[in-house]
Chains A and B, each alone.
Chain A
Amino acid sequence: MVRNVAIVGGGHSDWGERAATWKDLAQEGGKAAFDAVPEVGPEDIEGLFVGAVQPERFANQTHVAPLVAELLGIEVTEMIARTELACASGQAALRYAWLAIAAGQLDVALVLGVEKMNLGRKYMPEMQASMANVLDREFDGANGLAAPPFFAWYAQRHMHEYGTTREQLSQVAAKNKTNASKTDFAQFQSSCAIEDVEESPEIAAPLHLFDCSGITDGAAGAILMSEEKAREVTDTPAFITGSGQSSMAGNSINNLPSLSTWPQARKASQNAYEQAGIEDPLADIDVAEVHDCFSISEIIEYEELGFAERGEGGQFIEDGRSHIDGDVAVNPRGGLLGCGHPLGATGISQALEITHQFQGTVSSDRQVDDPTTGLIHNLSGSASVHSVMVLDRDPQ
C-alpha cells in the first residue's frame, strides 16, 4: 500500500505585519505555490489540507478549507480538511497529505498554511488571549500564563539544571535572525548581534523580545505528489522518508514531567529516524528547520533530536555547530525567530526550505553545501506534542 511521496515545490506570501486579510494571504500563498510549480494547476489538485490555528478568533472565519478551495478555484475530488494542532498545524497538514498519498487515496495535494495574527495594536491583547487559550485556560490561562513566561520557565530550569548561559540563548537568536536577513519573505530582515538580543526589552524574564518569535501574518503553500507523478514534474523532488509524532497525556502545566526536557521530541524523532533509516542524526542530517519559537527551544531541540547530549545544547550553539557551515545547519531560513511564526504556515515553510535547499534555489549566502537529508520539527501547546518529518533527495 505504501507509496513514496514527495514535495515538488511551493512558495510563500510575504511574512510580517501585513496590510492584508486572511483571505488575501491565502490567495497569495496559493498563487505562490502554483507559480513555483507551473506544471500543476488548481484543476490537478485532488486533496486540499489547510493548516490554520485560530481563524475563528483572528479573522472571524471558520470552515476555512472549502473557502480556500473557492479562492483558488480548486475542485477537490478526494479529501479536504483543515488541521489545527496549534503551532504544529502546518506540519499536521503535511502529514495528512503524506498519509493520503502514501495510502493511494490521491496523487496530488495542495497543503496551504495561513494565519492572520496582527489585529492592530489596540486589539493585540485579544490575540495574546487567544494564544493563551492553547493552554488549559481554566487552570493555567487564568494565571496570566502565556507562551513567553512558559518558555521562560524552560530557560530558567535549563540554566539551573545544566548551566546553560544567557549568552548561549542570545547566540541562537542572533544566528537565526541573521540567517533571516538572507530570506526574502522573512519578517525580520536585519542581521542581529548577541548584544542586540540582550539589549532588547525584557518580555518575560529571563527572555527578552529578541528571544521570542514574531507575531506574524503569512502563508505558505506546498504541492505534494506521489513519486510517479512527481517525476513528471521535477527532477529534484524532496521525498518524505519519515514522519513521527508523539503526544504525552498532559497538556496542563501540572502534568509535564520536566521543564527542561522534551521526551516527546525524542520519541517523535526516533520514530521518524527509524522510518527514514537514520542511525546517527548528527552525521546523517545536513539541514534542519526546528521550532525555535523561543531561543531556549532550539537548545533543547539540539538535545532531543539527537544532535547533542542532554544538557549540552548550549555548548552546541556556542561551538558554532548549528551554523550554516556547522555539523548540521539549523534554521538556515532564519527559523521562527527570524522568519516570524504565522502558526498554520510555519511547518509548511520549514518543509519548503528543505526542498529549496535540496534544489539549490535558496539565496546563495544561506545555501548549505550539497545537502541530501533534512528534517523539520514542530512543537505545539505546552510542548506536550512534537512532530518530526525527515526529507531526502532520494526515496530510500
Chain B
Amino acid sequence: MSDDTPDRKRVSVPEEIELPRLLDFYELQTDDHTRIHEFYENLRDGQLTTTRCQDCEEIHYPPRIVCPECMGDNLAYVDLPHEGELFAFSEVRGGLPIGLAEHDVPYVVAVVDLGPVRLSARVDGAAYDDLEIGDPVELNIVEIDGPTEEERVFYRFEPVNENGGDSE
C-alpha cells in the first residue's frame, strides 16, 4: 500500500456476538416453552417417559401433542423401561457439530432398543472396541450446564455393570 492512500473513515463490527440460545443443543424444557414439558419434568424426576394415544393406543417416540396414527390429541405419558440393548453404535472422532469439537471426543452414540421404542442416545463410560450389538445399557440422566439459566436435563445411557453391586 502506498503512502498516498487517502484517509478513510473507519467503521466497525462487534468483536464478540453472544451465541443465540437457539444455537445450543437443547430445547428449553418448561411449560413456558414447550407443550411436551411433561416429558422433561418426568425426566427431571428420574423417569423416562413418552406419549401414548388414549384413543388408538399408539405409542410414540419422541413424545407428541398429536397422535400421528389417528390425529387424536388425547395423549398420556407412560413410563419407558430404563434398561435396553444396543441395537447399533458408533464412536465419533471427526465431523463434529458446534460445541462438540473441543471436548468430549471421542464419544459413543448409539441406537438403544428399549422394547416399546428405539431411540438414539449418547453412551457414556464405554469405548467402541469394548461394546457389542446386544449389550445391555441403562439410563443415565444428566444435567445440562449453560448457556441459559434455565434448568435442563437430558438422557444418556451407560453399559450395565454386569458385576453390579454383587461381589464376584
Contact = CB atoms under 8 A, between A and B. Distances in A.
A145 B96 CA distance: 9
Interface stretch (A62-70, A89-97, A128-136): A128-136
Contacts of B154: 142
B97 A129 contact: yes
9 contacts: A125-B97, A138-B27, A139-B62, A143-B120, A144-B122, A202-B94, A204-B91, A204-B92, A212-B95
A254 B97 contact: no
B90 to A, nearest CB: 4
Determine which residue in A129, A143, A202, A206 has the highest number of CB atoms from chain B within 10 A of its CB, and name it: A143
B122 A143 contact: yes
Given A142-B26, A259-B111, A201 B93 contact: yes
A206 B27 CA distance: 31
B77 interface: no
A209 interface: yes
Contacts of B99: 125, 129
Interface string A137-169: 111111111111100110011001000000000
Contacts of A132: 97
Interface string B44-69: 00000000000000000110000010
Contact of B95 (A141, A146, A160, A255): A146
Q: Size range of the interface on A?
A: 35 or more
Given A125-B96, A143-B109, A205 B133 contact: no
A204 B109 CA distance: 10
Nearest to B132: A160
B8 to A, nearest CB: 24
A152 B89 CA distance: 8
A141 B89 contact: no
A32 to B, nearest CB: 29
Interface string A290-328: 000000000000000000000000000000000000000
A203 B62 contact: no
B68 A249 contact: yes
B89 A156 contact: yes
B92 A149 contact: yes
B87 A141 contact: no
Contacts of A253: 111, 118-120
B71 interface: no
B148 to A, nearest CB: 14
The range of chain B's interface size is 35 or more
B90 A156 contact: yes
Interface string B78-104: 000000000111111111111111001
Contacts of A274: none
Interface in A93-144: 125-126, 128-129, 131-132, 136-144
> Which of A137, A157, A205, A209 has the most chain B CB atoms closer than 10 A to its own CB?
A205
A246 interface: no
A255 B96 CA distance: 24
Nearest to B24: A142
A359 interface: no
A157 B88 contact: yes
B97 A128 contact: yes
B97 A202 contact: no
Interface in B106-135: 107, 109, 111, 117-122, 128, 133
Given A148-B94, A204-B92, A259-B87, A254 B119 contact: yes
B119 A139 contact: yes
Contacts of A142: 25-27, 154
B62 A144 contact: no
A255 B121 CA distance: 14
